[in-house]
Amino acid sequence: MDKINKALLREVRIKVNDALRPIGKELDLKLSLGNMTYSDYNATGKMKIEIVENGQVMTKEYTDLLDFAELHKIDLDTIYKLNGKAVILTGYSWKSPKYPVHVTELDTEKQFKVSRDWLLKATGINK
């Protein structure tokens, strides 16, 4: 091998992430190798470590959703309808004034951001 290049780093990232997966399961963590910088003969990379509880990665948005759900007595296991599609709640951002609620479509796993008003209407909570 002559020099490090992007193609090599993509392959390394895939293999490292595959190797990290069983370690993460054992420790209830999600481990992943992210962005890497490189020169001709060396590279450094960023490793992301996230806590997993009950199969859910505990992101800032998810913990904020837990707080919001507790505050408004919302059941996070409920399946809601958004434009005729089944969605579940997956996050909340207190900083976003327009679309703070994060939902994931069950069929396609696409993620969307929706308004707080939509959530309150969908859950039957009056403003």
Q: How does pLDDT run across 47-81, given as a tens digit for each residue?
A: 999 999 877 888 899 999 999 899 888 888 899 99
CA-CA distances (angstroms) from residue 90 to 28, 60, 67? Answer: 19, 11, 12
CB 113 within 8 A of CB 101: yes
pLDDT over 80 (residue 85): yes
pLDDT over 90 (residue 112): yes
When pLDDT is cut at 50, 70 and 90, the band that residue 127 belongs to is low
Within 10 A of 106 (CB to CB), how many other CB atoms are there? 12
pLDDT at res. 126 = 66
pLDDT at res. 125 = 78
When pLDDT is cut at 50, 70 and 90, the band that residue 40 belongs to is very high
Dig out the tokens for 9 from the structure.
Answer: 């780093």
Whole-model pTM: value is 0.65
When pLDDT is cut at 50, 70 and 90, the band that residue 22 belongs to is very high
Backbone angles phi, psi at 47, to 5 degrees: -105, 130
Sorted by where each begins, the domain ranges of the chain are 6-53, 59-123
Buried b (16+ CB within 10 A) or exposed e, 89-98: bbbbbeeeee
